[in-house]
C-alpha cells in the first residue's frame, strides 16, 4: 500500500522537533519520504490522507507487558501484592485456556491500537496462539513464553521456548521478534539459569526478565544469595546476552553500574510500579549512566490500562516530584522513552520509533483540534503533558492501517468483547474492595 | 428542563456502588429520582436520554486552579520553579488584559467541561469578567480575586474582593460562590493578613490560600517567623474562618494537627505538585486525621491539563507507590476526592458531588463501550484506573446540558480558540526547551 499524508504537523525524527506543516509518503512498509511544506506530486497509486488538525507521531513502543492479563482488568485492586497474586491473580490464571489467552491478547491489542501503540512486548503462556493473533492483527511484537523455572524440572518450557523461537522469529513479514523469557531471578534460580544460558547460546535472540521489582525481592535475594537480584543475574552469566530487564525499581549504585557495563536495557513501568505499591525506579540515575530505557505498561491487571499516553505523562511528572526537580525527565526525554528509546530497549531495528526516511512506517495520528491543544505554544509539550489517548484517530504498522478515524480494521471489537464476557464467567467472584 | 435518563449504569450516591441498569430523573436543577431497573412512567415533558453503553457519574469538582493560565499552557515547561515564575510566567501575565482573562477562562472551561468537571475553583485577576463567563457557560464555580498582599499597600484588592463578593455571591442561580483569596503566607505577610481577617469578619464566605507548596516556602517561613506556614497562618487567626488550603505538600505532624483541629480543608493537586518539582503531599496522613480533601488541577501552565480523570488516576496510583503500600488510596477513596469530598472541601451544599435524590443535577456520562471497560469485573475500578477523559460524552450542570454527545452547547469553541491564538501573539517567544 502507498500513502501520501498531506497538510500535517509531524514530529521530525532527525531534528526532533515538530514541523508544523508538511507531508509524509509511505510505500509498502517503509517511510519513503517526508518533509516540510507541500509534497512533490505522486501518482494516483498513492492514497491521499489529509492531516489537517492532526499531529503525526511515531507509534508508541510498549516494552513490557502480559497482554492476556487484560482478562483480569479490575478483577481485584488495592490489595497487598502477595494477597493479590496468591489469592486472586494466580487462581484465576489457572483457569485460562489457550483460546482464552488468544482472546485476552486480542482485547489487549484493541486497547493498545486505540491508544497509539504499534509495538508491544509480551511475556505469557500459549505464545504460539499469541503470535498468530499478533500476525493477524497487523501489530509488531516482541514475544516470549514466560518461564517459572521452579515449575519446570524437565525443562519443557525451555524446549517450548526453543520451538517457539524457531517457528516465529521474523514471522509476519518481520513483525514478530522472539525472546527467551525467564520470569525473574526468584522464580528462575541460578541452577535453572544455567539451562536458560545454554539455550541463549544456541539461539541469538534477546532475553526478557523481571528484575528487582519489589524491596521484598531484593531482601530475599540478599538473604538467600548474599547478592542483589542484579548481582545474582550478573554472576549467573546472563548479562553476556542481550537482556531487557523489566521494572528495576530497587537498585544499588553497584547494580546500576553492572547494568550499564553490560548494556542491560530497562523497561520502566511507572504506573504498574505505583499501583502495586512496588515503588519508583531511579530513572534519572539510569539515564545518567547511559542505560537504554523504554516505557512499559505491564499487564492490565496491575495498571489497569495499556495506554502509553498515560505512562508518557506519568514518567514526565513523577520523577520531577520525587526528586523535587522540575527539570528532571523533560518532555522530549519522555517522548523518546515511549518511541525511539523503546525500540532500542527492545533491540529492534534502527529507525523504528522515529519518523525518518527509510524507517518502518509505524505511526499514529492524533486530533489536535480540541481545547487542550491551545494555545499552540509548543506541540511537543502538548503531546506529552496535555494529550490523552482519546485523541488518537489513526494507527498504522508497516504501512498498513490498523485503525482509521477511530475504527478498528483488523480485530473484531464486538466479537472480542463478547467472548471476554463469556470467558470471565468462570472466574470465582472475588469480593470487591469497598464497593 | 426535565430529563429521564434510562437504561444506564449509575454510581449510586447512597450505597456508593454502581447500579448496573437503572434510571435517573432530573427536574429543573435537581435530581428528582433515581433507581434500579425500569423507570416509572413520566409524561412527555421529560426528555428521554438513552444511557445504553454509558456510565452516569457525578460531575467532577476541581478544588484549585487559575483558569486563565490556560493561555500559558506549554509556554515553558521543565524549568526550575523560580526561573519559570520570574522569567516566564509573571512577565507573560503582565501582558494579560481583562478581555484576555475572559477568553482564557473560556478556554479552561471548554477543557473542564470536555473532561467531566462541573464545578471549578478559581483564584485570579479580573474576577468580575471570570464570573460573567462562568454564568454564561452554565458551570458552577467558587471564585476569588487572587491577592498578593505585598503589592497592595492601599488595600485596593481587598476592596475589590469585597465588591466582588457583594455583587456575585450566589449569582447565576446560586452557581457562583465567592471567596477571599489571599495568595499565600509568603505573599500576604502577617500584617496584611490582619486586613484580610477584618474583611473575613464582615463577609461570611470561605477563604482560599496556597499553603506550604514548596520546601523553600517552609524554610523561608521558619527563617522569617520561626514558624511553619501553617503555624504562621494559625497564629494570624485565619483558621477561625472557613479555609481551603491549596497544596499543603510540606507539613509537619504539628501542622497537620492544626489543620485537623481547625477544620481547614485541603485542595490536593498531585499533577501540578509533581510537574513543578514541589513534591508529594502526605495525603494518607491528612485523611487519617479526618481532614477534608478535594482534588485540584492547579492552572494549565503547571499541569498542563485541567483534567480530573488524570488527577483521579494519579491520586490512586501515586500514594501507593510512594508509601510502597498497594492498599493506600483505594479506587473508591480516589473517586470521592474528585466528587463528594471535593464539594465538601469547597464548603458547598450537601449532596453536590453525589447522585442522590434532591441533590443538584450536576452529572456526566461516559462511554463504556471501548476495550478499556472490559471485562466488566468492576465498573468503579474501570472509572478510576482504566478510563480517560476522552470517554466523557455528556455533561450537565444544574439540570442544563453543557455538552451533549461531545458537542459544546454553551461556549463557542471555534471562536475561543481563534481568540486564544490572537492573544498569545503578544507574548515574547520563550526559548523552547529541547525542541
Nearest CA in chain A to B113: A371
How close, in Å, is residue B96 to chain A by CA atoms? 14
| pLDDT reported for residue A435 | 37
Q: What's the Cα-to-Cα distance from A325 to each of A19, A252, A254, B78, rounded to whole Å?
A: 30, 21, 24, 9
Strands B2-12 and B17-27: antiparallel
Is residue A422 domain-resident?
A: no
Pair (A26, A101) in one structural domain: no
Taking only Cα atoms into account, the Rg of chain B, rounded to an integer number of angstroms, comes to: 21
Strands B140-147 and B181-182: parallel
Pair (A39, A119) in one structural domain: no
Question: Which residues of A fall within a CB distance of 8 Å from B81?
Answer: 326
H or E, element range at A233: helix A229-236
- Per-residue pLDDT, averaged over B288-314, amounts to 98
How close, in Å, is residue B51 to chain A by CA atoms? 19
Pair (A331, A363) in one structural domain: no
Which three cell numbers, joined as nine digits, stand for A11?
Answer: 514530529
Q: Is A413 on the interface with B (CB under 8 A)?
A: yes
Question: Which residues of B fall within a CB distance of 8 Å from A416?
Answer: 371
Residue B432, pLDDT > 70, answer: no
Contact call for A17 and B377, based on CB within 8 A: no
How close, in Å, is residue B165 to chain A by CA atoms? 30
CATH number, domain with residue B327: 3.20.20.140
Residue A432, pLDDT > 90, answer: no
Alpha carbon distance B357, B371 (integer Å): 32
Taking only Cα atoms into account, the Rg of chain A, rounded to an integer number of angstroms, comes to: 21
Pair (A210, A318) in one structural domain: yes
Is residue B418 domain-resident?
A: no
Pair (B121, B240) in one structural domain: yes
As a whole-number percent, the residues of chain B with pLDDT over 90 amount to: 93
Mutating which of A85, A367, A377, A416 best tests the B interface, going by the most B Cβ atoms within 10 A? Answer: A377
Pair (A92, A145) in one structural domain: yes
| pLDDT reported for residue A337 | 98
Question: Which residues of B fall within a CB distance of 8 Å from A320?
Answer: 78, 274-277
Pair (B388, B287) in one structural domain: no
Pair (A148, A249) in one structural domain: yes
| pLDDT reported for residue B430 | 63
Are B210 and B179 a contacting pair, CB within 8 Å? no
Closest-CA residue to B388 (of A395, A307, A59)? A307
Question: Which residues of B fall within a CB distance of 8 Å from A273?
Answer: 321
Is residue B431 domain-resident?
A: no
CATH number, domain with residue A12: 2.30.40.10
- Give the tens place of pLDDT for each residue, B145-154: 999 999 999 9
Confidence of residue B435 (pLDDT cuts 50, 70, 90): very low
Boundary-marking domain end, from B326, B345, B364: B345
Alpha carbon distance A182, A161 (integer Å): 10
Confidence of residue B10 (pLDDT cuts 50, 70, 90): very high
Boundary-marking domain end, from B300, B322, B345: B345
C-beta neighbour count of A114 within 10 angstroms? 23
Is residue A75 domain-resident?
A: yes
Total domains in chain B come to: 2
- Per-residue pLDDT, averaged over A160-186, amounts to 98
In degrees and rounded to multiples of 5, residue B204 shows phi and psi of -105, 65
How close, in Å, is residue A90 to chain B by CA atoms? 16
Are B119 and B140 a contacting pair, CB within 8 Å? yes
Is residue A177 domain-resident?
A: yes
As a whole-number percent, the residues of chain A with pLDDT over 70 amount to: 99
Q: Looking at the partner chain, which of A74, A416, A417 has a beta carbon nearest the beta carbon of B381?
A: A74
Is residue A424 domain-resident?
A: no
Residue A382, pLDDT > 90, answer: yes
| pLDDT reported for residue B349 | 85
Strands A363-367 and A392-397: antiparallel
Q: Looking at the partner chain, which of B71, B277, B385 has a beta carbon nearest the beta carbon of A324?
A: B277
Pair (B299, B285) in one structural domain: yes
Q: Measured at the alpha carbon of residue A408, what is the angle toward residues A405 and A413, in degrees to the nearest 5?
A: 140
| pLDDT reported for residue A81 | 78
C-beta neighbour count of B194 within 10 angstroms? 11
Nearest CA in chain A to B215: A324
Is residue B429 domain-resident?
A: no
Residue holding cell 509505524? A362
Alpha carbon distance A217, A253 (integer Å): 17
Contact call for A310 and B114, based on CB within 8 A: no
Pair (A336, A399) in one structural domain: no
Is residue A242 domain-resident?
A: yes
Pair (B43, B176) in one structural domain: no
Q: Is B106 on the interface with A (CB under 8 A)?
A: no
In degrees and rounded to multiples of 5, residue B147 shows phi and psi of -125, 115
DSSP state of A383: I
- Give the tens place of pLDDT for each residue, B160-195: 999 999 999 999 999 999 999 999 999 999 999 999
Question: Which residues of A fall within a CB distance of 8 Å from B328?
Answer: 277
In degrees and rounded to multiples of 5, residue A411 shows phi and psi of -130, 140
Q: What's the Cα-to-Cα distance from B190 to each of B182, B196, B227, B299, rounded to whole Å?
A: 11, 10, 12, 26
Q: Looking at the partner chain, which of B320, B424, B433 has a beta carbon nearest the beta carbon of A375?
A: B424
Contact call for B324 and A18, based on CB within 8 A: no
Boundary-marking domain end, from B324, B345, B366: B345
How close, in Å, is residue A20 to chain B by CA atoms? 13
Which domain range does residue A232 map to? 60-345
Binding residue ranges of B: 64, 66, 93, 145, 183, 210, 213, 298
Ramachandran bin of B96, using left for φ above 0, alpha for ψ from -120 to 50, beta for the remaining angles: beta
Pair (A22, A152) in one structural domain: no
**Secondary structure of residue A414 in the 3-state scheme:** helix
Contact call for A17 and B271, based on CB within 8 A: no
Residue B351, pLDDT > 60, answer: yes
Residue A74, pLDDT > 50, answer: yes
- Give the tens place of pLDDT for each residue, B84-131: 888 889 899 999 999 999 999 999 999 999 999 999 999 999 999 999
Q: Is B107 on the interface with A (CB under 8 A)?
A: yes
Amino acid at each position: 500500500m502507498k500513502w501520501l499524508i498531506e497538510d500535517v504537523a509531524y514530529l521530525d525524527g532527525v531534528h526532533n522537533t515538530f514541523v508544523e506543516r508538511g507531508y509524509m509518503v509511505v510505500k509498502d512498509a517503509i517511510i519513503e519520504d517526508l518533509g516540510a511544506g507541500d509534497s512533490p506530486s505522486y501518482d494516483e497509486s498513492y492514497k491521499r490522507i489529509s492531516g489537517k488538525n492532526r499531529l503525526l507521531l511515531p507509534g508508541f513502543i510498549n516494552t513490557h507487558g502480559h497482554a492476556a492479563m487484560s482478562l483480569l482488568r479490575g478483577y481485584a485492586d488495592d490489595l497487598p501484592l502477595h494477597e493479590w497474586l496468591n489469592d486472586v491473580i494466580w487462581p484465576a490464571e489457572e483457569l485460562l485456556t489457550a483460546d482464552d489467552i488468544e482472546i485476552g491478547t486480542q482485547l489487549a491489542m484493541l486497547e493498545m491500537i486505540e491508544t497509539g501503540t504499534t509495538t508491544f512486548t509480551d511475556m505469557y503462556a500459549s505464545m504460539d496462539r499469541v503470535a498468530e493473533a499478533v500476525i493477524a492483527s497487523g501489530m509488531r511484537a516482541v514475544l516470549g513464553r514466560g518461564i517459572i523455572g521452579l515449575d519446570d524440572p524437565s525443562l519443557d518450557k525451555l524446549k517450548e521456548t526453543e520451538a517457539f523461537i524457531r517457528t516465529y522469529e521474523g514471522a509476519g513479514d518481520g513483525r514478530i521478534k522472539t525472546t527467551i523469557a525467564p520470569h525473574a531471578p526468584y522464580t528462575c534460580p541460578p541452577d535453572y539459569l544455567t539451562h536458560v544460558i545454554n539455550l541463549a547460546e544456541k539461539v541469538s535472540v534477546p532475553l526478557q526478565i523481571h528484575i528487582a521489582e519489589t524491596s521484598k525481592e531484593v531482601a530475599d535475594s540478599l538473604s538467600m544469595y548474599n547478592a542483589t537480584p542484579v548481582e545474582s543475574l550478573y554472576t549467573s552469566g546472563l548479562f553476556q546476552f542481550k537482556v531487557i530487564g523489566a521494572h528495576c525499581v530497587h537498585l544499588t549504585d553497584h547494580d546500576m553500574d553492572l547494568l550499564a557495563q553490560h548494556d542491560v536495557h530497562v523497561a520502566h513501568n511507572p504506573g504498574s510500579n505505583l499501583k502495586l505499591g512496588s515503588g519508583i525506579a531511579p530513572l534519572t540515575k539510569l539515564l545518567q549512566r547511559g542505560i537504554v530505557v523504554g516505557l512499559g505498561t505491564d499487564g492490565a491487571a496491575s495498571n489497569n490500562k495499556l495506554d502509553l499516553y498515560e505512562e508518557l505523562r506519568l514518567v514526565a511528572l513523577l520523577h520531577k516530584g520525587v526528586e523535587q526537580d522540575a527539570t528532571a525527565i523533560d518532555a522530549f526525554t519522555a517522548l523518546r522513552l515511549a518511541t525511539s528509546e523503546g525500540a532500542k530497549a527492545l533491540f529492534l531495528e534502527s529507525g523504528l520509533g522515529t519518523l525518518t526516511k527509510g524507517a518502518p512506517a509505524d505511526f499514529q495520528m492524533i486530533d489536535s483540534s480540541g481545547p487542550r491543544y491551545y494555545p499552540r505554544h509548543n506541540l511537543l509539550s502538548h503531546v506529552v503533558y496535555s494529550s490523552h489517548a482519546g485523541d488518537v484517530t489513526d494507527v498504522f504498522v508497516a504501512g498498513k492501517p490498523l485503525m482509521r478515524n477511530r475504527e478498528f480494521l483488523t480485530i473484531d471489537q464486538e466479537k472480542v468483547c463478547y467472548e471476554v464476557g463469556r470467558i470471565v464467567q468462570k472466574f470465582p467472584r472475588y469480593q470487591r474492595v469497598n464497593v
